[in-house]
Structure 1
Amino acid sequence: MNKLLYIFLFFFCLNSFGQDTLSVNKTDTVAVASKFSEKDILVDTTKIKGRSFADFKEKYSDSDFDYETKNKEKNAWDRFKEWLSYWFNRIFSLGSDEASMSVVELFLKILAVIVILIVIYLIVKAIMNDEGRWVFGKSSDKKVIHYDEIEKNLHLVDFEKLIKEAVKTGENRLVIRYYYLWLLKKLAEKEVIEWDIEKTNSDYLYEIKNEKLRNDFAYLSYLYNYIWYGEFELEEETFTKAIQSFEKTIKTL
Structure 2
Amino acid sequence: MSNFLKRYIAILLFGTSALLNASSLTESVRAPRLQDSLYFDNEPIDKRSYDDLKAKYSDDDFIYERSVDQSGWWTRFKQWLSDIFKDLFDLNSDAKASDFTDLALTIFYVVIFLLVVFFIVKAIINKEGKWVFGKSSDKSIIPVTDLENNIHVTDFSTLVEEAEGSGNYRLAIRFYYLWLLKALSEAELIDYDVEKTNSDYYYEITSEATKKEFSYTSYLYNYIWYGEFDIDDLQFQRAKKAFTRFLNTIKV
Tell me whether the two structures share a fold, i.e. TM-score over 0.5: no
TM-score (norm 1): 0.42
- TM-score when scaled to structure 2? 0.42
